């Protein structure tokens, strides 16, 4: 819809949502990883839910425990208050001591909740497909006056559209939860919104189980000085494309290991980017990807990690000459990635034990030769259901356009394949990157 007027998105007000029942007070210690500088930010995302027949705004009736008469905003707000009884640290604030230590102060300060209405339909704005016809700032909850943004843990905005669909905008402190942890909390809100009396998985704090190596050095935030501005690109990948490369790899490894869709897509993205950027063949290029460390801390985490929602991941780095990444087959690039994944348990164990590893594994860099990859397909966001079904799609938002990133997300609901959201090459190289990514030869 050309010329959509963003001013027709009206915020109806915002207020603090506190736990529906009394919860413990005091302060809670964050882990070494929680306190890492790159975690001291609010991670932003938009979750787009299509209208469901019989569940429009103001419709009456009840379906599966969902009181649709109150609409999605009120239903989610009520469920949020109930979920915060179990996740009460999210209703607190981050406290910064003079010593530099950061803790969560559990004083029930509350989660800021904003309700908004749009005077147009989701179809009018192409369901927030890129390029978005609505500014993300209209759909994300604002920081209220008088609040220190550094201290906030969670803000939520629910925007209801004229069609009956809605968008949930989250701003979530990475210091308190990683991706799986944030999705676990959203799923808990969904359970209560759908009428559950209890949670399928009770959350646990358990931050003392996260390694705190004496030799670990906390790095600094990436320096944007001299960094290049990188262009956003979202690409839908078909299931046939994924199967083509998976079958190639599997045929070459009869009786051996199989490769995943993640490995195929990231190998293709890394190779296409390396070619498009035109790096010198003998220069070293790097691929960094976060891996869930919960299975490696199974014995240390409460309940084997079930319900743990704090940061628990390790960033693996694989490196190779640009000429090798560019000139090899996709199978060979997949093998480079697999070799890195196989090293992860032993490398993480050495780091956790305080042994020397090459550099700071958690350091994020603005070096153009480094591509940072995230896999959102397994986090759980695509399965969150507030009573209107799972989201049509999830839109992760990045605030640092000088960090080369590639995020793998689910495509539209019930659509096979995958979606790559990238911001990894300069504007003049986007066409070459896109062409290379789609090339199946």
Tell how many helices (H) and how many strands (E) occur in the chain: 8, 17
**Both tokens of residue 67?**
């009181």
How far from the centroid of its chain's Cα atoms is residue 360's Cα? 22
Torsion, CA 223, CA 227, CA 231, CA 235, rounded to 10: -60
**Both tokens of residue 157?**
């905005």
Q: Are 167 and 46 in contact (CB under 8 A)?
A: yes
Q: Are 85 and 143 in contact (CB under 8 A)?
A: no
**Both tokens of residue 319?**
């490196």
Known catalytic residue: 385?
yes
- Spatial CB neighbours of 146, under 8 Å, sequence gap ≥ 6: none
Rounded alpha-carbon distances, angstroms, from residue 47 to 11, 61, 282, 396: 18, 25, 42, 9
Render 45-59 in DSSP notation, one character per residue. EEEEE---TT--TT-
What is the rounded distance in angstroms from the CA atom of residue 396 to the CA atom of residue 275? 26
Q: Which residues pair with 409 in a beta bridge?
A: 419
Q: Are 330 and 268 in contact (CB under 8 A)?
A: yes
**Both tokens of residue 172?**
């979530």
381-413: buried (b, 16+ CB within 10 Å) or exposed (e) per residue? bbebbbbbebbbbbbbbeebebbbbbbbbbbbe
The torsion region of residue 379 among left (phi > 0), alpha (psi -120 to 50) and beta comes to alpha
Task: Residue count of the chain, please give it.
Answer: 441
CB burial of residue 61 (10 Å; 0-12, 13-18, 19+) = exposed
What is the rounded distance in angstroms from the CA atom of residue 27 to the CA atom of residue 181? 20
Element (H, E) at 44: strand 42-49
Out of 59, 385, 401, 434, pick the active-site residue: 385
Out of 174, 178, 375, 393, pick the active-site residue: 174
Q: Which residues pair with 17 in a beta bridge?
A: 111
Residues annotated as catalytic (active site), given as ranges: 174, 385
């Amino acid at each position: 819809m050309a010329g959509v007027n963003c001013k027709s998105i009206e915020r109806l007000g915002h207020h603090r949502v506190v736990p529906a029942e009394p919860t413990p007070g005091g302060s809670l210690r964050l882990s070494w990883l929680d306190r890492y500088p790159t975690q001291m930010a609010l991670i932003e995302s938009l979750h787009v839910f299509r209208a469901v027949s019989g569940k429009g705004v103001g419709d009456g009736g009840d379906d599966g425990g969902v009181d649709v008469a109150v609409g999605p905003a009120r239903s989610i707000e009520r469920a949020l208050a109930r979920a915060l009884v179990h996740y009460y640290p999210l209703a607190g604030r981050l406290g910064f001591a003079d010593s530099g230590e950061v803790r969560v102060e559990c004083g029930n300060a509350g989660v800021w909740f904003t309700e908004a209405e749009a005077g147009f339909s989701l179809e009018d704005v192409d369901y927030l497909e890129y390029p978005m016809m609505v500014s993300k700032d209209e759909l994300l909850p604002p920081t209220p006056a008088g609040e220190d943004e550094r201290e906030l843990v969670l803000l939520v905005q629910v925007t209801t559209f004229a069609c009956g669909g809605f968008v949930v905008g989250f701003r979530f402190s990475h210091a308190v939860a990683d991706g799986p942890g944030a999705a676990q909390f959203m799923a808990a809100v969904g359970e209560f919104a759908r009428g559950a009396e209890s949670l399928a998985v009770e959350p646990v704090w358990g931050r003392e189980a996260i390694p705190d190596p004496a030799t670990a050095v906390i790095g600094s935030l990436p320096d944007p000085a001299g960094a290049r501005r990188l262009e956003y690109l979202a690409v839908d990948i078909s299931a046939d494309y994924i199967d083509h490369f998976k079958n190639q790899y599997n045929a070459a490894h009869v009786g051996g290991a199989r490769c995943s869709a993640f490995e195929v897509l990231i190998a293709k993205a890394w190779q296409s980017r390396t070619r498009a950027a035109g790096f010198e063949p003998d220069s070293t290029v790097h691929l960094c990807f976060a891996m869930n460390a919960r299975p490696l801390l199974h014995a240390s985490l409460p309940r084997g990690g079930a319900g743990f929602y704090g940061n628990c991941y390790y960033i693996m780095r694989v490196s190779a000459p640009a000429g090798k990444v560019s000139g090899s087959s996709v199978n060979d690039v997949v093998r480079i990635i697999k070799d890195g994944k196989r090293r992860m348990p032993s490398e993480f164990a050495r780091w956790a034990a305080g042994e020397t590893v090459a550099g700071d594994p958690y350091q994020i860099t603005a070096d153009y030769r480094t591509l940072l990859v995230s896999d959102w397909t397994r986090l759980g966001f695509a399965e969150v259901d507030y009573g209107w079904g799972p989201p049509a799609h999830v839109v992760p938002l990045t605030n640092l356009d000088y960090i080369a990133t590639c995020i793998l997300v689910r495509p539209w609901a019930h659509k096979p394949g995958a979606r790559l959201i990238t911001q990894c090459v300069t504007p003049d190289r986007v066409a070459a990157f896109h062409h290379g990514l789609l090339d199946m030869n």
